[in-house]
Every structure is written in structure tokens, then in C-alpha cells.
Amino acid sequence: MGISVTPLTPVEQTALLTVYARALDSRGPRPILGDTWAESVVAAVDYDFAGLRVQTSVACQTALRAKMLDDRIRAFVASNPHAVVVDLGGGLDSGYYRVSPAPTVDWYTVDLAGISALRDQLLPPNGHSHTVVASVAEPDWAATIPANRPTMIVADGLFAFLTEPVIAGVFRSITEHFQSGELAFNDYGQFGPLSLAAFKYLPQKMFKDVGSQLGYVGFKDARHPLTWNPRMQLLEETSLAHQPEVELFPGALRIATRLTGLTKAGARKARILRYRF
């Protein structure tokens, strides 16, 4: 019998979908992320992961966006060896162990109480990997995190579950607390009527679970977050569809992804955005 996830709230349970998608990637013959920690987490938890019916496309995209964020963290800590890394809504993410930064780097994973407790049960302790129990909707979520070191903040999948006022508050709180650094996160562009209908009516439990928690329809222009906090500067807008790792996708999915990336609207549907502050 594995560890129960019954205490988790519906929002916290979305972390199970993400970790399972990464585990599926690690099982493949040509993994994109190769997150063996995700496989260990799935094996230790008492949950019907197969019932999520995670599609191959979701597993591939989840793995690739995590790899893209990992790569940006690696570049940042290479240039800033005494950096702080902050993973917002990190859930069961094993990014610290994948990136394996130098011991001069401190890593903080910020999430709600239930999923944070589960994380501490499942992932090995490390003196430089810290769990912060907090809601990013609260203005003081960063209070216990060092403010005077170069800071790399990432959010993988979090912002889609927050309302625009809450996201804007996160953007403001970052520059109010931290002296300097970068913020990188995955983004889906703007959800249109067809996407919202898919979340609502498609039979897969995965879509129903995620769709019921969506908080914000998103934005097209990567400069829109600058209206929340003009102290942010857009550094990068990069589509998953344009990455070389797409060659590791199964044939039909690889072709479909490349075709999607030929248009601006398609490329926006899965992108990494990065800002300097």
C-alpha cells in the first residue's frame, strides 16, 4: 500500500498529473527529460495514475517544458554560483536533483501545505533544498527566502490555475522582495472557446481535472505581464514547437508539433517566457 493522497485538495492533486506525465516520459525508449525521480514518486503513491489517461502528447510536452526550464536554471546558476532558485508551485517536482547545482546554491520549493508534506515524504532531504509552505496568493509568500542573492524563479504550470489579479500580485511581490534575478515560466497563450470546451467535455479524466481548476484564460502578447509590473523586462519568448527535442516525439506527434509551430498562434500554445528584474 502506497502513501495516501486523500488529504490533498483538488488544486494540489494537479501535481500528480504532472509527475505522472514525467514518469511516462522516463519509461520511453528515448526520454526527453529522463526524470527517474518522477518514476520513484509514482511508485510510492497510492493513486490511480492510469485513470488519468495521460496522452502521449501531454507526456512529451510536460517533459520538454521541464527540460527547457532546467536548462535556463543551469545557465543562471552557472553565471551566479551563489544564487537562490525558487520553484513556485513546485509540488512533487525533482528539479533540484535533476539540475544538481553546486552546494553554494540554495533551492526553495514553494507550495501549499498538503502537497509540501507529501513532497517531504517522497523526495530525499538535502541541506540546500528547502520546502516553503505558503500560498503565492498571499503577499508574504517569500518572507523566509533570502532576498539579497541573485534569484532564479520558475513556475511550471502554476499560473494557469491562478486568476489574473493573483498572478499580477506574484509579479509585484517578486520585485518587492528580491533584489535581482530572472523569472521563467511555461505559458499556453490565450485559451479560446475550443480549448475551454475541450477541458469541459472531453472524456479523459486528465482534462476534466485540469479544466475544473483553470483560473485564467491567459494572454497572447508576451509583453502583457509588464502591465502588472513595469520593473520586469522581457528576455525571451521561446516555443516548445521550435526545440530540437521535438525530434524525440513519436512520428505523428513530431510532425503535428512542427506544423503547429509554423504559425504565431500555434507557437504561442506552448512556450517558455523569461523576464529579468
**Is the pLDDT confidence value at 204 over 90?**
no
Residue 17, exposed/middle/buried by CB under 10 A (0-12, 13-18, 19+)? buried
Cα dist. 154→132, 243, 244, 264 in Å?
Answer: 14, 19, 22, 24
- Which range among 46-60, 75-89, 180-194, 251-265 shows the weakest confidence by mean pLDDT? 180-194
pLDDT at site 177: 98
Q: How confident is the model at residue 195 (pLDDT cuts 50, 70, 90)?
A: low
pLDDT at site 216: 79
Q: How confident is the model at residue 8 (pLDDT cuts 50, 70, 90)?
A: very high
- Sign of the Cα pseudo-torsion (70, 73, 77, 82, in order): negative
Mean of all residue pLDDT scores within the chain: 93
**Is the pLDDT confidence value at 193 over 90?**
no
Max avg pLDDT among 6-20, 141-155, 212-226: 141-155
- The 8-class DSSP code of residue 125 comes to -
CA–CA separation, 164 vs 272, rounded Å? 18
**Is the pLDDT confidence value at 91 over 50?**
yes
Cα dist. 8→55, 111, 236 in Å?
Answer: 23, 12, 34
Which structural domains are found in the chain, ordered by start?
Answer: 3-276 (3.40.50.150)
Average pLDDT over residues 27-40: 97
Please list, in sequence order, all residues whose beta carbon lies within 8 angstroms of the beta carbon of residue 54, skipping any fewer than 6 positions away.
Answer: 17, 20, 21, 24, 206
Average pLDDT over residues 213-219: 75
Q: How confident is the model at residue 217 (pLDDT cuts 50, 70, 90)?
A: confident
φ/ψ of residue 126, rounded to 5: -150, 140
